[in-house]
Each structure stands twice: as structure tokens, then as C-alpha cells.
Structure 1
Amino acid sequence: MKRVTTLAAITTAAVLALSACGGEKQPDAAAPAPSEGKSLLSSPLGDPIQLASLSRESTKKAKTSKVTMETVAGTEKNTASGQGQYDGENTKFSMSMDSDGKKIDILFVDSALFVKLDEADKAELKTDKAYVKIAADGQDPFSQLLGKLMSKAIKDSDPSRILEQVSKAGKITKSDQVELNGEQTNHYVIEVEAEKAIALIMGEIGIPLPAETLKQLKAKLEGKNVMILTELWLNADQLPVQVVSDQTAFVKAMGAPGDGAAKTTVKYTDWGAPVTIAAPPADQVGDMAEIMKKAGGR
């Protein structure tokens, strides 16, 4: 059953990561299309709602990017790289993740998440299929549990989501212009109130936290003014270049063991470049309900 637990953790983390890229619709604002030449960098904005709207419009025009991600939690470090096409319900994403020395390949396409199985996975789960599929409309308990998260990711996937959170749960505390990887960028320092952010994310996903869990969260956060410090770099086309989110204060408030350090760094490159993301052949995809049934019967 170890692989079943691992599979559950992997797919849940992947869907949560996709959901974290989603955001609510904001009023459209005129934004320059990503250009082939160097655009002039405008002055940093102080209004997070306007900033979110401009970035969303630019992302909508560019549609695609390459992505790398590094997550540090205490002494553990996970990395991932991939590419995405951000197009509402036609959103597609491919990612290769390295978690505790295990490589995990996932695809998000055709409104479903596909997780690639290695030979050890196949043996443990008693299947010869190369992939397992998690569908938003799947009938197995696991797919139904994650369905709302996936639906949210499909509809609202957008790398500029952090800005919608800022407009409701935080504020821009500092902005300046700096060079990052040879490119001039607008750099923003953002403080997000942890308690408000949690309520916002869970509300948007549509899965309320149990009353007891909410009570425990409030008790640990009450009166501490815990902030999630986020830094954002946007290029001249209002496209994200890098996002760093430091959750250290939050995980320490939650009582995490060890030093409690927690930070996520996401980098975006090659905006507007062609990407090729396709679902695996149907005969290579296993049914989640059948796979879980076989694995559970061991």
C-alpha cells in the first residue's frame, strides 16, 4: 500500500499546485502584447487590482511559458520544471518533478491530470499501464475528492493569480526597478495576511475547511499578524519573470518542527514560445478506480 499512499500524495500535491495558479476574473484593462523587441519598462504600479488586471491581460496574450519551481521545507527540497499553455478551459501543462529522489512526470490536458507510473509503481499497483488518469468528472472516490480542485484549475489557471490574492488578502509594501537575469523588471514586495489568504483560497476552491480545523488555525494565528512575504518580478510586458513566496512565519505559527523554513521560488521564461502538450495514447492510460481497487485488495 506504500505506492497507493505515494500516488495519493503526488496527485493531491499536483492538483493543489495547479489550483494555486488559478484566480478570479478581474475587469479587463488595456495591456501591451508581449513584443519581440525590448519594451520600455513603465513605472511600478501601487494598485494591486490594476496590476493584476494588466498582468492577466498580458498573460492571456502570451498564452505560453516555460516554468521552473523550487520548494524548500526545512531540510527538504523539491524541484520541478515544465511548460504551460494558459487558455481557460483549454489550459494544458506538463511538469517533471523531483521529490525526495523520486522523479514524477505529470500532464494536465483535456480537463484531466495524467500521472506517469514508473516500474515500481506498476508492480505495486498491479498494472501495465504507463499512466493513471485523474478526471474532474471521474466516478472513483479519489477523482471525486479532487474534482473541484481540478475544475478550478481548468477555469482560472493563470500565473498572475498571486495578484488577485494580494488585492484581497494583502498589500504592496515596496516597489522598485531592478535587473534580473539580464532583464529590467519591476520588483514588488508584498505582504499577504495568512488567515485571510487561507479563507480566500479554500472559498474559491469550494471546499470548506472542517469547523475544528478552522478553530485550530484561528487559535494559532490569532493576534500574531502572521504574514506570507511574497516578492514578484514583472518584465516590461507585465509578465511574471519570478515569484518568491516565503511561508516561514506561517509554518512556524502552525508549529512545524525543526527550523520551519518554507519558501517557494517559481521562474517563468520563454513567454509566447510554442509548446507541445498532448494526452498520452488511450491504451497507455489506466482507470483510477480499477487501479485503486486492485492496489487496495493486496
Structure 2
Amino acid sequence: MRKTFLLAACTAAALALAGCGGSTAGTAAPAPGAAAPAPVAQITTIDQLSDAISKSTQGKTSASMSMNMSVGGQSITGEGAYAINGSDVKMQLTLTVPQMGAMEMRLIDRVMYVKNSQPNAKWLKMPVDPNDPRTAQFSQIIDQVDVTKQFDQFKSISTMKGKAEEPVDGAPATRYDIAVDMSKAAAAATTPAEKEQIEQLQQSGVQNVDMQLWLDQANLPIQYKTAISAQGQAVTVLVKLKNWGEPVTVTAPPADQITELPKGN
């Protein structure tokens, strides 16, 4: 059970990072005269939603996040932040996992550091290697974190089912309801690992994934939620985003507090 929840925790972190990456175009402000965000009334298709998010996140390469992942009725919660500079992704995240307590994670220079809450625990150093099944998912996240590319892909694999004015934490927001076709997602997969993950979901009975995305009045993503049922087990992920564009600093742990990931399995 501990291994199951550790895997779920890592998956939750990966999902959070994948779903809320900012544009990788740089940190400069949008050029004078750039088009304003599309009014809510004009966003009625996936294409328009993708374009609106691309414009709103231009130049905003960092954010803080909170998350709640429910797996089979048990909850994994987390707080953290991330920053993107081209292919360089930095993240810090503290997760609270059932039966395990708190777990800290740091991603810097394509190395993941993980530490549990046990007294005198050291940081486990895991170089992110696409050929190592233990860290391959994180490599995939790093390589595909650009939200603009994600929504470009959504154009061919998803449809918008509806939208509604729905505040988030008391602030005005619009909720967009999206359906993702897993067969189309598998066909559009860009790597063998990504295709395999999608096919595993399909084999467990997941043919479509419902996603809800909330944008604020500037069309910045401030919350998203996904829900699936696989092999009779419900899994939901809720992520909240804020502080778009604010500085984020992530540092590697001191060398004397690190232990290396053993080779092999």
C-alpha cells in the first residue's frame, strides 16, 4: 500500500506540473499593442480556448500551486511552485500522503530530489532519465510542460462541452468543460512512453477523460480538475494556480544530506 501511494503521489506531482506549465517564450512582457484576452462570450471552441491561454500566459513562466488528489477515497494534498526557462524546469512541492506523512520534492537541473518526513531522513537524488522507468515520467513532463503545446494537442483530441460563470475562491472566473477522447490522444502521442500510459488507461476502462478548466478575467488558468474511474476506482485531481509570473527559487539540498538512487530496479 505504501508503494501504491508513493506512485500515486509522484503521479499527482507530474500531473500537476503537466497541467499548469506556463508559456516558454521568455520573461518579457507582451509587446505593446498585443491583442487583449478574448471576452468570455467569444470562447466557444477548443481552438479559441487554446489561443486565449497562449496569449494570457505569454511571458508568465512561473506560478504557485496547491493540489488535492483523491485515490480510492484517500486524499493526497500538496503545495508548491514551479518556474520554466525554455527546457529548464524547476519545481518545489510538499505532498502529504496517507500512511506516509509529508514528502518534499525538488526538481532542478533535470534532477529530482525526494525526502520523507522521517527524522534524519536524507534527500534521494534521482537524475531524470527518459530510459529509466523510475524517472521516465518526469522526463516526459519536463519535455512537454509548455501549456501552449498541450492545448495545441487538445485541439485535435478534445471537444468543449460547455462553459459557465463560476467563481473560484470568491473571484470571478469562467469554467470550461472539456472532453478528451483517449483513442485520439493515443494516436496523437509523441513518445512511446506517453502512448503506453494512455493505452494502459484505455485497458483499465478509461475511454474518455472529463476535464474542467477555470480561467480568470484575464484568461489565466487558475484551477483545473480531472476525474476518471479505472478498474472501479475513482481518481480525481484538483489543482489551483496563482502568483503567475512571480519569481520562484529552487535550490538543490546540501551534499551531505543527499543519497544517490541505487542503480537498476
Q: What TM-score bracket applies, with the shorter chain setting the length? A: 0.7 to 0.9
Distance (Å, rounded) in 2 between the aligned partners of 1:197 and 1:53: 20
Q: Which amino acid aligns with 1:88?
A: G
> Paired residue for 1:204?
190
Deviation sequence 1:41-81 (CA, Å, 0-9, x none): 71241232342243134334122211011111232111111
> Of the candidates 57, 66, 73, which is equivalent to residue 75 of structure 1?
73
Distance (Å, rounded) in 2 between the aligned partners of 1:238 and 1:195: 29
Calculate the aligned-residue CA RMSD, in Å.
3.8
Deviation sequence 1:25-50 (CA, Å, 0-9, x none): 99x9xxx85xxxxx987124123234
> Where do 5+ consecutive residues of structure 2 fail to align?
31-35
Counterpart of 2:244 in 1: which secondary structure?
A: coil
- The structure-2 alpha-carbon separation of the partners of 1:166 and 1:41, relative to structure 1 and needing over 3 Å to count, comes to closer
Distance (Å, rounded) in 2 between the aligned partners of 1:112 and 1:50: 36
> Paired residue for 1:103?
102
> Of the candidates 68, 88, 91, which is equivalent to residue 90 of structure 1?
88
Distance (Å, rounded) in 1 between the aligned partners of 2:234 and 2:205: 17
Q: How far apart are residue 6 of structure 1 and its match?
A: 7.2
Instruction: Check whether the contact 1:184–1:236 (CA below 8 A) recurs between aligned residues.
Output: yes
Counterpart of 1:180 in 2: which secondary structure?
A: coil
Counterpart of 1:91 in 2: which secondary structure?
A: strand
Distance (Å, rounded) in 2 between the aligned partners of 1:276 and 1:61: 17
> Paired residue for 1:114?
113
Instruction: Check whether the contact 1:48–1:171 (CA below 8 A) recurs between aligned residues.
Output: yes
Counterpart of 1:209 in 2: which secondary structure?
A: helix
- The structure-2 alpha-carbon separation of the partners of 1:217 and 1:178, relative to structure 1 and needing over 3 Å to count, comes to closer
Distance (Å, rounded) in 1 between the aligned partners of 2:141 and 2:204: 30
Q: How far apart are residue 175 of structure 1 and its match?
A: 2.1
* Aligned length, in residue pairs: 253
| Alignment of 1:231 onto 2:223 | no
Q: How far apart are residue 18 of structure 1 and its match?
A: 6.1
Q: How far apart are residue 219 of structure 1 and its match?
A: 8.9
Q: How does 1:1-298 map to 2 (within 5 A)?
A: 5=3, 9=7, 12-13=10-11, 16-17=14-15, 20-21=18-19, 42-43=39-40, 44-101=42-99, 102-119=101-118, 122=121, 130-137=122-129, 144-158=132-146, 163-198=151-186, 200=188, 203-207=189-193, 208-209=195-196, 214=199, 217=202, 220=205, 226-248=207-229, 251=230, 255-256=231-232, 260-289=233-262
| Bigger RCO (CA 8 Å, 6+ sep) | 1
Give 1 or 2: higher strand fraction. Answer: 2
Instruction: Check whether the contact 1:12–1:146 (CA below 8 A) recurs between aligned residues.
Output: no
- The structure-2 alpha-carbon separation of the partners of 1:215 and 1:60, relative to structure 1 and needing over 3 Å to count, comes to closer
Q: Which amino acid aligns with 1:111?
A: R
- What is the TM-score of this pair, normalised by structure 1? 0.69
Q: Which amino acid aligns with 1:267?
A: K
Q: Percent identity?
A: 20
Counterpart of 2:190 in 1: which secondary structure?
A: helix
Distance (Å, rounded) in 2 between the aligned partners of 1:247 and 1:162: 19
Structure with the greater alpha carbon radius of gyration: 1
Q: How far apart are residue 7 of structure 1 and its match?
A: 9.7
- What is the TM-score of this pair, normalised by structure 2? 0.77
Q: How far apart are residue 217 of structure 1 and its match?
A: 3.8
Counterpart of 2:49 in 1: which secondary structure?
A: helix
Q: How far apart are residue 165 of structure 1 and its match?
A: 4.8
Q: Which amino acid aligns with 1:66?
A: S
- The structure-2 alpha-carbon separation of the partners of 1:18 and 1:136, relative to structure 1 and needing over 3 Å to count, comes to farther
Deviation sequence 1:108-159 (CA, Å, 0-9, x none): 111111101443795xxxxxxx211111249xxxx72245433332233245
Instruction: Check whether the contact 2:62–2:247 (CA below 8 A) recurs between aligned residues.
Output: yes
Q: How far apart are residue 276 of structure 1 and its match?
A: 2.0
Instruction: Check whether the contact 2:129–2:136 (CA below 8 A) recurs between aligned residues.
Output: no
Q: How far apart are residue 14 of structure 1 and its match?
A: 6.0
